[in-house]
Structure 1
Amino acid sequence: MKTTAMFDQLPIDRDAAAVRRRVEALEHLLERTFTLPGINRQFGLDFLIGLVPVVGDAAAALMGTWLVWEARNLGMSKFQIARMMGNVGFDALIGLVPLVGDTADFFFRSNTRNLRIIRRHLDKHHPGTVTVAA
């Protein structure tokens, strides 16, 4: 799926199906937009902007926090929200360490982990939003 096509028709509704589409699109943008040739490892804006010291990590954390905000609006439990904030916080803190943080950002995908938590919630509480991966 082309990235631009993914964002062309994103819904702004608050229903569970619209939220699922938005969080999946953001996770794709942050974690899987580009592929590193040779090793076929995907990466996204989270890794790229994380290369900019402090400001990049703060911006990536803000974008990751938006996923948590969407989860909160879905009525997810405080435990799930805390776990998601822990993922974002760990990613932000490790990102502050030069080189080590950038390497960790390449492998620790907090947004993908958070998307998995959101998908489990949606699959259980809003089964009509389940999509089949092609």
Structure 2
Amino acid sequence: MNQQPFKNDKLRWVERISKLMDEQFSIKGYRFGLDPILNFIPYLGDLAGFSVSLALIATMLKNGASKKVALKMFGNVLIDTILGAIPVLGFFFDFGFKANSRNIKLLREHYTEGKHTGSIMGIIIGFILIAVVVLGLIAIALYYLFAYLYTLIQNWL
């Protein structure tokens, strides 16, 4: 992170933990942190990464981050956790998608440029719409799966 550290000690702590989770180590110029390494422990690694990220967001909220920026940060963490939990594919995803580093960038933009302020209703509505679409697609897929299984059972009997 090339930018000046935060003046607030608690936010500097957030920045250090974020770096540890996403960019602490380097191999041939590629930076990564503990987050993808923790994925070697199925589910517990994802839970640990999720917990650390939530603690970072909570600290940011206590130190004046807007609800809008916190919601965007939570979205990054949720994407990282859900897609990172997919076996094998999630391991590679965690090397590329650095939720904590993205959240530090959002926080810097919030404090230095005044971005990510205002109402969170647009984001909440967006999340709800995405959830409805995903649940609808899951319901359709389950319907076709059960219809197929029913047909197989009927033909078998």
Hey, what's the Cα distance between the residues in 1 that align with 2:9 and 2:111?
A: 11
Could you tell me whether the CA contact under 8 Å between 2:69 and 2:110 is conserved in 1? Answer: no
- 1:75 and 2:64 aligned: yes
Hey, what's the Cα distance between the residues in 2 that align with 1:21 and 1:117?
A: 15
Root-mean-square deviation (Å): 1.7
Q: Which has the higher contact order (CA 8 A, sep 6+)?
A: 1
- 1:19 and 2:4 aligned: no
Unaligned segments of structure 1, at least 5 residues: 1-14, 126-134
Unaligned segments of structure 2, at least 5 residues: 1-5, 115-157
TM-score, structure 2 length as denominator? 0.64
Hey, what's the Cα distance between the residues in 1 that align with 2:48 and 2:97?
A: 17
How far is the alpha carbon of 1:19 from its aligned partner?
2.3
Counterpart in the other structure of 1:32: 23
Alignment match of 1:103 (pick from 84, 92, 101): 92
TM-score, structure 1 length as denominator? 0.74
Hey, what's the Cα distance between the residues in 2 that align with 1:16 and 1:121?
A: 14
Over 3 Å off, 4+ runs: none
Hey, what's the Cα distance between the residues in 2 that align with 1:100 and 1:118?
A: 29
Relative to total residues, which structure has the larger helix share, 1 or 2? Answer: 2
Q: Per-residue displacement from partner, 1:71-90 (whole Å, max 9, x unpaired)?
A: 11122222111111111111
Hey, what's the Cα distance between the residues in 1 that align with 2:75 and 2:24?
A: 24
Q: Rg bigger for which structure?
A: 2
Hey, what's the Cα distance between the residues in 1 that align with 2:40 and 2:10?
A: 29
Hey, what's the Cα distance between the residues in 2 that align with 1:28 and 1:77?
A: 22
